[in-house]
Chain A
Amino acid sequence: MWIETTIALKFLREGRTQTTLILVGIGVGVAVIVFVTALIVGLQQNIIGRTLGTQAHVRVLPPDELNHVQAPPVGVVQLLLEDKRPQRLRSINNWQAVRDVLDQLPGVKAVSPVISGPAFARRGGTNLSVALVGVDPSRYLKVIPVADDVVSGVFRVGAGDAVIGKLLAEDLGLRVGDKLRLQTGPGRITVVNVAGIFELGVRELDQRYVYLDHKQAESLLELPGGITVIDVTVKDIFAATDLATRIAGLTGLKAESWMQTNAQLVNALASQSMSTRMISFFVGLSVAFGIASVLSISIVQRTREIGILRAMGTRRSQMLRVFLVQGALLGLAGSALGALAGWGLVWVFNAFGPGLFYIPVSPLLVPAAMALATLTGIVSAAVPARRAARLDPVVAIRHV
């Protein structure tokens, strides 16, 4: 391989203008691929991060209540006009056992039983509809790290303490330490102390969530000892649907993954990934054609030299390798330049861009792009290299 590599390098160096131009071409292509890929990956991670920062990956709910209609006697046609049953606020039966099962389930990172239901928050003459969320902080914070988003006070529930959203606090004019009246029905009123105010950045949550501890929520929602939903965090977020199916099968409960509740988002992400792959593929294709055409021209220009090398005992396979190596070297060097440029673009974007989100560059992206470009170089050199190897030395030597 030494002589093939040496000849390849010398040929590339001699055709300096061509080499430089195609290197720039490959570099631009690879830079585009690296940048677009990093951008989309960063964007998606950001979107997923934001979406999943405020919701559980899998929510386990009690099964829907259905009308049980008695089957008609055989041979009787029954027309049924049925109103669907309203779904009461219900507890998950035997939720402690379910929780323990989920705790043991492979792929599950954290499990948090939650009791939640509607209420009114009152202060002075203002009545606002809120969602009570009764949690066990040691478990809940592993699912949704609200404590990180507390802007005032601390995340502390129990003993009459509550944590509320920032918008709710503003609407009711509350500050940490103030009292808040919660009403869930006639006569079911309690007064809580605002221990902390959080801001998750999601309007719905910041305006409506009131965190309490389990006991207080249970009594307010009249579900003593019950919980209404089990939030689950999984290790691989894209396996959430599979895991939800498994949980539903294991427990007989309803289990929804974030991918099902955010189907549109998942769809958008998938389309985005596909368009990135399409862009990368077609840019890669044009890079490949560029390499192939430069090498084809080089072979025409070097026909006589190829002939003389063959006359001096260079084997066909060696001639083939000379041009395959050129393709590989072009791919490698061009992609090194391109990866550097793409990385620079990402850096510029992070430093001076709109600042909406940060693009992390996976350390694998650059070597992966270079390996792929090298392979592309070899593949695209295959056709011209075969032509070089098949040149008839008799004809090649007389070539002017």
Chain B
Amino acid sequence: MSEVVTTHEVLRLQGLRKSYNIGLPTEAEVLHGVDFSLTRHDFAALVGPSGSGKSTLLNLLGLLDTPTAGELYLQGQATRNLDDEARTALRGRTIGFVFQFHHLIQAFTALENVMMPLLVAHGRPDADALARGRALLDAVGLSGCEDRKPSELSGGQQQRVAIARALVTRPALLLADEPTGNLDTKTAGGVFELFRRFNREYDCAVLIVTHDPRLSEACDRTLTLVDGQIVGDVNHPRNGR
């Protein structure tokens, strides 16, 4: 593999398998050897029917869970044998999450929520953290909402705060789980455009897990997962940058 490719490669999966209830009669393998990779420029969708293993795969990609077999390289680093502490640190540094139900911390303001990944890593916010938080809130169109609590924001606004939060560490990989699932079409379009923009501006690989065919077709690449295996990997050149 050439060096140029390595530097751009953010994520590579090799024969990734995941079983549950290992050793029990109910043991079941959900992922049967998944291989694919993402580069910094990728803007991909992961689609598949319910029960295909999308959520399981997403948890593995996000280092929230460990594979049973195979290896997952994040920025060239093998992750399967990392302990919880190291995985947590790597996760905090390189991965941004956006969930369907935004999951903001209710007790903190919008700005504090955005800065949270920096705060848990470095403690008291410095000028740089504040500037980054404000800039991102501004970028998602929420300047002026810094001091509002999540409960004072609309669903779309909360989701935008969550996106800003996912990007505050300048992650190499942004994972989004049905990010527009509970938003109306117009708001969903705005959120999608944000992903697009950050993919371009920050060189951040984006992987969106979705049921929505319109959303997946708007991405550059669609990975299709069926019964725990990647059965389709399609590029949509017309969307390309």
Residue of A nearest to B108 (CB): A10
Residues of chain B touching chain A, judged by Cβ–Cβ distance below 8 Å, are 59, 62, 64-65, 84-85, 88-89, 91-93, 97, 99, 103-108, 116-117, 119-121, 123-124, 165, 169
Bound CA span A311–B105, Å? 12
State whether A393 touches B64 (Cβ < 8 A): yes
Which of B59, B85, B120 interacts with A394 by CB under 8 Å?
B59
State whether A309 touches B89 (Cβ < 8 A): no
Which of B106, B116, B123, B124 interacts with A312 by CB under 8 Å?
B116
A 1-39 binary contact with B (CB < 8 Å = 1; else 0): 111001100110110000000000000000000000000
Bound CA span A64–B65, Å? 85
Q: Which residues of A contact B116 (CB under 8 A)?
A: 309, 312
Bound CA span A311–B97, Å? 8
State whether B89 touches A313 (Cβ < 8 A): yes
How far does the Cβ of A202 sit from chain B's closest Cβ, in whole Å? 65
Q: Which residues of B contact A397 (CB under 8 A)?
A: 64, 99, 103
Bound CA span A150–B89, Å? 80
State whether B107 touches A14 (Cβ < 8 A): yes
| Most-contacted residue by chain B among A3, A311, A312 (CB, 10 A) | A312
How far does the Cβ of B14 sit from chain A's closest Cβ, in whole Å? 22
Given A14-B107, A318-B120, A393-B64, A312-B92 contact (CB < 8 Å): yes
Bound CA span A46–B99, Å? 68
Residues of chain A touching chain B, judged by Cβ–Cβ distance below 8 Å, are 1-3, 6-7, 10-11, 13-14, 304-305, 307-318, 393-394, 397
Main SS class of interface, A: helix
Bound CA span A305–B64, Å? 15
How far does the Cβ of A11 sit from chain B's closest Cβ, in whole Å? 6
Which of B65, B105, B119, B120 interacts with A305 by CB under 8 Å?
B105
State whether B89 touches A312 (Cβ < 8 A): no
Q: Which residues of B contact A308 (CB under 8 A)?
A: 97, 99, 103-105
State whether A314 touches B97 (Cβ < 8 A): no
How far does the Cβ of A343 sit from chain B's closest Cβ, in whole Å? 33
| Most-contacted residue by chain A among B84, B93, B104, B107 (CB, 10 A) | B107
Q: Which residues of B contact A3 (CB under 8 A)?
A: 119-120, 123-124
State whether B88 touches A314 (Cβ < 8 A): yes
Q: Which residues of B contact A315 (CB under 8 A)?
A: 85, 88-89, 120
Residue of B nearest to A400 (CB): B101
Given A2-B124, A318-B120, A393-B64, A14-B106 contact (CB < 8 Å): yes
Q: Which residues of B contact A309 (CB under 8 A)?
A: 105, 116, 120
